[in-house]
Amino acid sequence: MKTKTKRNRAVWAEKHKVFFKDQTKLPFKEEIFVSNDYKTTCFVIKTMITRGAGSIGAAAGFAVMQASFEAPENEYEFFLNKALKDIEATRPTARDLFAAAKRVYEKALISPSEAEKEAHKIADETAEAGKRIGEFGSKLIKDGFGILTHCNAGPLAIVEYGSALAPVIKAHNEGKKITVYVDETRPRNQGAKLTAWELEKAGVPHVIIADNAAGLLMMRGKINMVITGADRIAANGDTANKIGTLEKAVLAKEFGIPFYIAAPNSTFDKNCPTGNDIDIEERDENEVLYIEGKENGGTTVKVRIANPGSRAYNPAFDVTPVKYITAFITPEGIKKEPFVQ
Ligand code: MRU
Backbone phi and psi for residue 56, each to the nearest 5 degrees, phi listed first: -75, -25
Which ligand 1 atom is the nearest neighbour of the CA of 158? 15
Instruction: Give 299: exposed, middle or buried? Use CB within 10 Å, 0-12, 13-18, 19+.
Output: exposed
At 25-79, the pLDDT tens digits run 999 999 999 999 999 999 999 999 999 999 999 999 999 999 999 999 999 999 9
How many angstroms separate the CA atoms of 228 and 27, rounded? 20
Residues 6 or more apart in contact with residue 134 via CB below 8 angstroms: 161, 162, 166, 167, 169, 170
CATH 1.20.120.420 domain position(s) in the chain: 11-131
Encoded amino acid at 87, one letter: I
Report pLDDT for 296.
80
Atom 6 in ligand 1: which residue has the minimum CA distance?
A: 52
Task: Note if 318 is an active site residue.
Answer: no
For a mutational test of ligand 1's pocket, the pick from 21, 44, 51, 314, i.e. the residue with the most ligand atoms closer than 8 A to its C-beta, is: 51
Nearest to 231 by CA among 222, 223, 239: 239
Q: For ligand 1, is residue 225 a contact (CB within 6 Å)?
A: no
* Residue 247 CB neighbour total at 10 angstroms: 16
Q: What is the mean pLDDT of residues 171-182?
A: 98
Q: For ligand 1, is residue 24 a contact (CB within 6 Å)?
A: no
At 102-129, the pLDDT tens digits run 999 999 999 999 999 999 999 999 999 9
Q: What's this model's pTM, rounded to 2 decimal places?
A: 0.95
* Residue 163 CB neighbour total at 10 angstroms: 32
String of DSSP letters for 194-234: IIHHHHHHHT--EEEE-TT-HHHHHHTT--SEEEE--SEE-
In the Cβ-directed half-sphere of 326, how many Cα atoms lie within 13 Å? 21
Q: What is the mean pLDDT of residues 163-183?
A: 98
Given a cut of 50, whether residue 341 has pLDDT beyond it is no
Given a cut of 70, whether residue 4 has pLDDT beyond it is no
Q: What is the mean pLDDT of the chain?
A: 96
How many angstroms separate the CA atoms of 290 and 300, rounded? 13
Q: For ligand 1, is residue 153 a contact (CB within 6 Å)?
A: yes
Beta bridge partners of 319: 240
Q: For ligand 1, is residue 163 a contact (CB within 6 Å)?
A: yes
CATH 3.40.50.10470 domain position(s) in the chain: 136-335
| Chosen CATH of 136-335 out of 3.40.50.10470, 3.40.640.10, 3.40.1280.10, 3.40.50.1970 | 3.40.50.10470
**Domain 11-131 bears CATH identifier 1.20.120.420:** yes
Q: For ligand 1, is residue 123 a contact (CB within 6 Å)?
A: no
Report in angstroms the alpha-carbon separations of 333 from 132, 154, 228.
8, 18, 16
Beta bridge partners of 301: 293
Radius of gyration of the chain (CA): 19
How many angstroms separate the CA atoms of 77 and 95, rounded? 24
At 227-256, the pLDDT tens digits run 999 999 999 999 999 999 999 999 999 999
Atom 12 in ligand 1: which residue has the minimum CA distance?
A: 229
Report in angstroms the alpha-carbon separations of 289 from 44, 51, 185.
23, 21, 15
Report in angstroms the alpha-carbon separations of 168 from 52, 174, 179.
17, 10, 9
Q: What is the mean pLDDT of residues 144-158?
A: 98
Q: What is the mean pLDDT of residues 244-269?
A: 97
Backbone phi and psi for residue 100, each to the nearest 5 degrees, phi listed first: -70, -45
